[in-house]
Amino acid sequence: MIDLSGKTAIVTGGSRGIGRAIALRLATQGADVCISYRGNAAAAEATVAEMAAMGRTAFAVQGDAAEPDAAKALVDAALARLDRIDILVNNAGITRDDLIMRMKPEDWNDVIATNLSGAFWTIKAATRPMMKARAGRIINITSVSGQAGQMGQANYSSAKAGLIGLTKATARELASRGITCNAVAPGFVLTELTADLDPKLLDAIKAQTPLARFGTPEEIASAVAFLASDEAAYITGQVLAVDGGLVMM
């Protein structure tokens, strides 16, 4: 069993969906957890309450992932309450889907700023304390859209592909200090982001997936927990696809 007892973690976008499942899984394995959220305070506090009920130190910090100052404030708050940062999970993300010819500049910029730049700002803020400790686990949540592209998601696919490059660059840069950086690439997972998709599209997606079903947030969380653990100490710069076989590379 994965043991994260005594470890501390930050999970961005940890109030709902995949982020919530990740935060709860890390807490279940023994970690104290700080989550960030942008707007839904009630969801954030509900997630915190679940982790606290496990006997963990847990709290939420409000902030926009796209803002460098918010990333620094998040890391500072985590250090103030938890003393150190062992695990950083960059999960915060948004979608603004449209075809390239119709995509508004703000929809391109907002997705890149949140999904890609947001992860960079948080990594940048967490690097100094992790380097000082000469240890750390960074896990970025990318997507099959970043590996294979997706029609109507030029902004999202570009951001998630960029996140893979950021993962590899970070892994190379921080390896000498005992810090690993990996990515998890979920396939299609049923969350609030996918709940409104056309049923015919959902059926088509399942038909394209070798395992013929959608993933669950908990299955993504299991992969993150592994990469955050001592069992993954010799793994860095990798992309772990949790997609039912949808993208085989």
Phi, psi of 179 (to 5 degrees): -105, 130
Active-site positions? 156
Q: Which residues contact 212 (CB under 8 A, 6 or more apart)?
A: 206, 244
CB of 211 closer than 8 Å to CB of 245 = yes
Which letter, b or e, does each residue of 55-86 get, where b requires 16 or more Cβ atoms within 10 Å of its Cβ?
ebebbbbebbbbeeebbbbbbebbbeebeebb
Cβ–Cβ contacts within 10 Å for residue 96, how many?
Answer: 16
Helix/strand/coil percentages in the chain, nearest 5: 50, 15, 35
Q: Which residues contact 115 (CB under 8 A, 6 or more apart)?
A: 92, 93, 94, 156, 159, 160, 163
**How far apart are the C-alpha atoms of 143 and 149, rounded to whole Å?**
9
Supply 8's token pair.
């501390």
β-pairing verdict for 58-62 and 87-90: unpaired
